[in-house]
Amino acid sequence: MLEKFLISIGLKQPESIPESYTETTTTVRPSGENRFIDNENISDVRIHSPKDEVEIKALRSFNEIHNLGVAIKDEFIVAMDIRDIPDQGERRRILDFVTGMAFMSNATIRSINRDGVFLILPTNSSLSTEERERLQQLGLYKLNV
């Protein structure tokens, strides 16, 4: 269990990589209004790749936290959306885990939407005005609401 955790946050390399392993790049749907909960073919859409743009990760359960850890390890600015998780205990578990990942990566974490959106900023990174406006248009960035 500890080994899986260390591998998931990037502190240890796996012993071997299976032949069928293909790395999937995932970011998440852009808006909280269109949740696609009943769609079995939920697939994340790659919106962008530069490190100066925010990676948007919407989690539906704790089991999806691996992709978030990879983005934090790669020093991307990440917006974590946990609004789709109704269980407050699971939300707290995710937030505690991500806070630990951010601490280990020397990143900072802050709430950008009271409903459950958090911004993880790597060391020496800042959120540009354009990115803040983009997040506001997507319904993710609402500090004063």
At 51-81, the pLDDT tens digits run: 668 889 999 999 888 888 888 888 899 999 9
118 vs 142: CA distance, rounded Å? 11
- Asked if 105 and 145 count as a contact pair (C-beta separation under 8 A), the reply is no
Q: What is the pLDDT of residue 19?
A: 56
For the stretch 74-94, what's the b/e string if a residue is b when 16 or more beta carbons lie within 10 angstroms of its beta carbon? Answer: ebbbbbbbbbbbeeeeebeeb
The whole model's pTM is what?
Answer: 0.63
Percent of all residues in the chain with a pLDDT value above 90, rounded to a whole number: 31
At 101-129, the pLDDT tens digits run: 999 999 999 999 998 999 999 988 888 88
| Alpha-helix runs per DSSP H in the chain | 2-8, 65-73, 88-104, 129-137
Of the listed ranges 13-17, 86-90, 108-112, 129-133, the one predicted with least confidence? 13-17
Mean pLDDT of the 34-48 span: 47
The pLDDT mean for the chain works out to 78
Token pair of 69, please? 């850890």
Mean pLDDT of the 77-91 span: 93
Give the angle 103-126-6 at the CA atoms, nearest 5°.
Answer: 25
